[in-house]
Each structure stands twice: as C-alpha cells, then as structure tokens.
C-alpha cells in the first residue's frame, strides 16, 4: 500500500442548540434561540450575568445564567468586558454549552450540521490511495462519527462498516462501535482505498 495522505479536519457546529422552554406568551413549549447578547447586572460589588434567549415565535426572553452574585474582584476584567460588550466568541462558547443548558431547562434541541475546514498536512505521497484524517473540534458535538464520514466522503455508513470489518478502516483511539459514537477531537481515521474503484473521488471529497 502506498503512503497516507494526511488531512486535518477542523470541525465546528453550524447552529447552536436551542433550549425548549414553556413560553408564557405562547402558552406552550417553544424553542428559544440565542440572541448573542448578554445582560449584566451590578449590585454593589456583586455581578450577575446572563445570556439572553428569545422565543422563536413571539420573541419572549429567557435568561441563561452565567454568573450569579459573583464578587467583582473574582472576575477577570477581560471576561467582564466581554459580557458588557457582547463579545461574539464568548456568546458562542456559552451558547454551545449544551450540558449547562440541560442543567437549567432539561430539554434541548440540537442540530447535527457542521462546517468542516479541510487542510492537507505534510507532503503528499507520489501515489495516493490511503487517507489519514486527523479530527479537531472547536467544541464538543453529538454528531456520530459514521454520519460525519459518510457526509463528508460521499459514501454510505454501511460501506464504512464494511471497510472497518475488512480492516481497511481503523480508528485511533480504538473502541467498541467507535463509528457509532460521537465525534471526538484528536481522533485519527486511516482508510486504505487502494482496491476501491472510486478511490480518487473519495480522496478529493476528503480534501486531498
């Protein structure tokens, strides 16, 4: 088998999760969408900060608590400035914290769509018929590995399973049913495509 073409995939979710909240205006449970705006309240030396969400139908607001009665001296000035200036990176970080959202409301609507930036790493072999995909995540996502690979490589999940059973697809770190588990940063997938008729098309789709 020829050498591997190494490609780094930088993966970022496209849409923030939406908490499902009983909207007192609509009179039913509705998805609430992040406004990317913070509300900061200073009461003496104590600071409260919330990320503001709004009902997708009536625009009713709900505040996702970030800081509660925190001493000003315990908050880094840059962080406080980020809340007060509605820093988009800070808002995105909290908006995608699905664990914290679930701890507040219980039910959260998640979206599988991701953006994948593909960059070749190192020198390409003279003949390319094998891939090494190095995965990096901006943040934790729930998308399964087989769904990501199928979507980005243009092949079916059943074919991925067959390649794995034939030991032509390996995943590092290894684990039972790794293809069916959520994508994790640091995962490396190696695929031998030397006997596949659509080898070139798969490599092109991978970013090669």
Query: Tell me: the pLDDT tens digits for 180-190?
Result: 999 999 999 99
Q: What is the mean pLDDT of residues 61-75?
A: 94
The answer to whether the beta carbons of residues 191 and 5 sit under 8 Å apart is no
The answer to whether the beta carbons of residues 134 and 9 sit under 8 Å apart is yes
Task: Phi first, then psi: give them for residue 35, nearest 5 degrees.
Answer: -85, -10
117 pLDDT tier (thresholds 50, 70, 90): very high
Which tokens in the block code for residue 52?
């503001």
Which pTM was predicted? 0.78
Given a cut of 70, whether residue 1 has pLDDT beyond it is no
The answer to whether the beta carbons of residues 54 and 35 sit under 8 Å apart is yes
Q: What is the mean pLDDT of residues 151-165?
A: 96
Sketch the domain layout of the chain as residue ranges. 5-14+112-206, 18-109
Please write the tens of the pLDDT for every residue from 69-99. Answer: 999 889 999 999 999 999 999 999 999 998 8
pLDDT at residue number 176: 72
Which tokens in the block code for residue 165?
């059973």
What is the number of alpha carbons within 13 Å of residue 54 lying toward its C-beta? 9
Q: What is the mean pLDDT of residues 115-136?
A: 88
pLDDT-above-90 percentage for the chain? 83
Residue 198 to residues 1, 9, 141, 147, Cα–Cα distance (Å)? 16, 21, 30, 19
The answer to whether the beta carbons of residues 164 and 39 sit under 8 Å apart is no
Q: What is the mean pLDDT of residues 134-144?
A: 91
pLDDT at residue number 3: 79
Please write the tens of the pLDDT for every residue from 4-58. Answer: 899 999 999 999 999 999 999 999 999 999 999 999 998 888 999 999 999 999 9
pLDDT at residue number 38: 97
pLDDT at residue number 2: 54
> Which of the two residues, 151 and 45, has the higher pLDDT score?
151
Average pLDDT along the chain: 93
Q: What is the mean pLDDT of residues 171-198?
A: 92
């Amino acid at each position: 088998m020829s050498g591997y073409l190494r490609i780094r995939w930088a993966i970022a979710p496209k849409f923030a999760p939406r908490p499902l909240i009983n909207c007192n205006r609509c009179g039913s449970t509705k998805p609430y969408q992040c406004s990317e705006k913070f509300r900061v309240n200073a009461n003496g030396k104590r600071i409260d900060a919330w990320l503001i969400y709004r009902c997708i139908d009536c625009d009713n607001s709900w505040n996702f608590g970030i800081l509660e009665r925190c001493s000003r001296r315990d908050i880094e000035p840059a962080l406080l400035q980020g809340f007060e200036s509605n820093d988009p990176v800070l808002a995105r970080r909290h908006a995608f914290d699905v664990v914290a959202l679930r701890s507040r409301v219980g039910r959260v609507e998640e979206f599988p769509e991701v953006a994948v930036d593909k960059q070749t790493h190192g020198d390409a072999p003279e003949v390319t018929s094998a891939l090494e995909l190095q995965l990096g995540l901006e943040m934790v996502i729930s998308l399964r590995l087989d769904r990501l690979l199928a979507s980005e490589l243009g092949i079916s999940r059943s074919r991925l399973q067959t390649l794995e059973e034939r030991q032509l697809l390996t995943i590092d770190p290894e684990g039972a049913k790794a293809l069916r588990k959520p994508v994790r940063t640091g995962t490396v997938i190696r695929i031998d495509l030397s006997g596949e008729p659509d080898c070139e098309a798969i490599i092109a789709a991978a970013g090669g």
